[in-house]
Amino acid sequence: MQNKLLSESKHGNTKNFDVKDLKVALLFLLPSIIVFSLFIFYPMLKTIYTSLFLTSTGSKLVAFAAIENYVTAIKSSVFQTGFESTIIFVLVTVPLTVIIGFLLAFLTSEELRGMAFFRLIFSSTMGISVAASSIFWQFMFNPVNGYLNKLMLFLGQKPIGWLTDPKYAIYAVSFATIWMNIGFIYIIFLGAIQSIDSSLFEAAAVQGVKKTYLMRKVIIPILSPTFYFVITVSIINAFQAFGQIDLLTKGGPNNATNTLVYQIYQDSFINLNSGRASAEAVILFIIIVVITLVQTKFSESKVHYQ
């Protein structure tokens, strides 16, 4: 009996707070709290504060500017193109990565001979860094020797400047990004599909239920928390994509791939205008928060937790 009471007070959410526990807890939490304060909360506040000032090239605050940094950023055509390409990038990469990752996991979920091999292949991009992946893709996009243009010639089409033509560059970078991110999404989905109770599938097989029906009515609803997790993570990552842009296009051609993150980086570390860069960072932060909230609201009705 006493044991049970104790266990409830330790694991449950009863309100019997222990003063001794508070001291120990603070000690155990202290390292995390210090790092979070120093490298997440303080810099966040500092970025908001800096965004309200004009700054010198040495990042010194020169004069209070209220929302001037925001106004000049939003009015500039570079920012507007950057905003557009960021949105295109997110809208292209997130759904395709999630759908392809899910389908590959679904196709390889059956325990058949040789499946382990396919699972290794499809998860492999998780083990290749953005930098190495970008270099592999830079060659795929190579105007002369790359496979994509070889394919275009084979199909009787004109070769395309994948990374040098402003019309195509953002799609080319998006395509490479989808490939880079499939590995992680695939592993998450595969683990989730395999943890579904297999008696469910046996029952479905006995009743002669079609696979597509099974997928739509059983698997996808059961996996809705996984979809929610994967979509949220993908959206946040897509807004932060940096390495592939830095290595493949450096924001070009003609700012076609100059996404918001890349502009923040350039404004703060190349143009040395941290006031402007901070304002852009705050704008991007607000966009991410709003989208995450909207997505959470939207998926509340769709996600079923078991």
Partner 1 sequence: MIKSNKWQIGILYFILIVLALLYILPILSGIMISFIPGVDYLSGSLFPKSLNFENYVKAFQNANVPRMMINSTVTSLLIVSGQLIVSSLAAYAFVFLNFKWKEPLFFIFLMTMMVPFEATFIANFQTIKEMHLIDSYFGMALPSLASAFSTFFLRQTFKQIPNELIEASKVNGFNHWKIYKDVVMPISKQSLITLGIYQFLGAWNMYLWPLLVSSNNNVRTVQIGLRQIQSEEALTEWGVVMASAVIVALPTLIILYLSQKRLQEGLAEGAVK
Among 90, 173, 178, 284, binds partner 1 (CB under 8 A): 284
129 binds partner 1, rule: CB under 8 A? yes
Quote the least distance from Cβ 292 to partner 1, whole Å. Answer: 7
Residues 43-82 that bind partner 1 (CB under 8 A): 43-44, 46-47, 50, 59
Residues 76-115 that bind partner 1 (CB under 8 A): 104, 107-112, 114
Q: Are 101 and 230 in contact (CB under 8 A)?
A: yes
234 binds partner 1, rule: CB under 8 A? no
Which among 262, 239, 260 is positioned nearest to 249, based on CA atoms? Answer: 262
> What is the enclosing helix (H) or strand (E) of 62?
strand 61-64
Q: In whole angstroms, give the CA distance from residue 168 to residue 170.
A: 6
Quote the least distance from Cβ 91 to partner 1, whole Å. Answer: 18
**DSSP letter assigned to residue 66:** T
Among 76, 138, 164, 295, binds partner 1 (CB under 8 A): 138
**DSSP letter assigned to residue 254:** T
277 binds partner 1, rule: CB under 8 A? yes
Among 87, 187, 222, 231, binds partner 1 (CB under 8 A): 187
Q: In whole angstroms, give the CA distance from residue 4 to residue 285.
A: 46
Among 7, 80, 254, 271, binds partner 1 (CB under 8 A): 7
- Binding window for partner 1 (CB under 8 A); candidates: 77-85, 89-97, 153-161, 258-266: 258-266
297 binds partner 1, rule: CB under 8 A? no
Residues 147-186 that bind partner 1 (CB under 8 A): 147, 179, 182
Q: Is residue 3 classed as helix, strand or coil in its secondary structure? A: helix
Q: Angle between the 77-107 and 68-75 helix axes, to the nearest 10 degrees?
A: 70
Give the chain's end-to-end CA distance (angstroms, integer): 31
* Tokens matching residue 119: 């699972």
- Binding window for partner 1 (CB under 8 A); candidates: 70-78, 89-97, 156-164, 195-203: 195-203
